Amino acid sequence: MTQFFAAFATFIALHSIPAIPRIRGALVSRLGHGTYIAAYSAASLAALGWLFYAAFNVDYIELWEPAAWHGWVTFIAAPAGLFLVLSGLVSRNPFSTTARRNDGEQGAIVAITRHPVLWGFLLWAAGHVPPNGDLRSLLLFGGFAGFTAGSIAMMEKRDRKKHGATWPTRVQATSIIPFRAIMHGRARLRIDYPMLLGLAAAAMSVLWLLGGGHARLFGGDPLLFIQTLASGG
């Protein structure tokens, strides 16, 4: 358990960098935007790999018995989250996490929510809690979800303070809650190339994961999980 908490602390510290303008600005200035993104992505993947390795080595302690409908929560939330993450990363977004420079028109995904990447991770993480009824999974995925929700709140507080009275005007055509601005008529749902790219990448990833990729990476087959529980096995 000690290694798990150390890995999680490292993951949180690393992912706090984009929320601290002084540190992020210094790194971008020294490395360049492209190199910073590449180095940060590599470090993030390494930290994530360590975190999963540590989680898999924590003793299994069951908290609740999984049911078939728990799997369907993941089947809905995880692909939606993956789409938001991938679309958000390749879209220009002046409000939140992105791998693109913000020197042009903001991406269409921003009309859905101004925090697509963070909401994507939140959906992915929260969607994995119900079918994994053990302590380590609750700590891992619940921790992800809690950290991401906190990151959204922290970014909102920082930007509101930074932009002051101009903030309501800046965010008129977007919202924190997905689709809220669209439903209130403040934004129009549209599709651009980054969204299509994110959708295609998410679809291919989901097909690969369901086709055996998830079992090879994590040792569990989502389709077999639902079939087994549905049959009472």
The pLDDT tens digits for 8-25 are 899 888 887 776 778 877
Spatial distance between the Cα atoms of 150 and 137, rounded to a whole number of angstroms = 19
Q: Please report the pLDDT score of residue 232 as a whole number.
A: 59
What's the mean pLDDT in 98-117?
87
Q: In residues, how long is the chain?
A: 233
pLDDT in tens, 204-227: 999 999 888 888 888 777 877 767
Q: Please report the pLDDT score of residue 122 as a whole number.
A: 96
* Neighbouring C-alpha atoms within 13 Å toward the C-beta of 140: 27
Q: Which two tokens stand for residue 111?
A: 């009309």
Q: Please report the pLDDT score of residue 230 as a whole number.
A: 62
Q: Please report the pLDDT score of residue 34 as a whole number.
A: 76
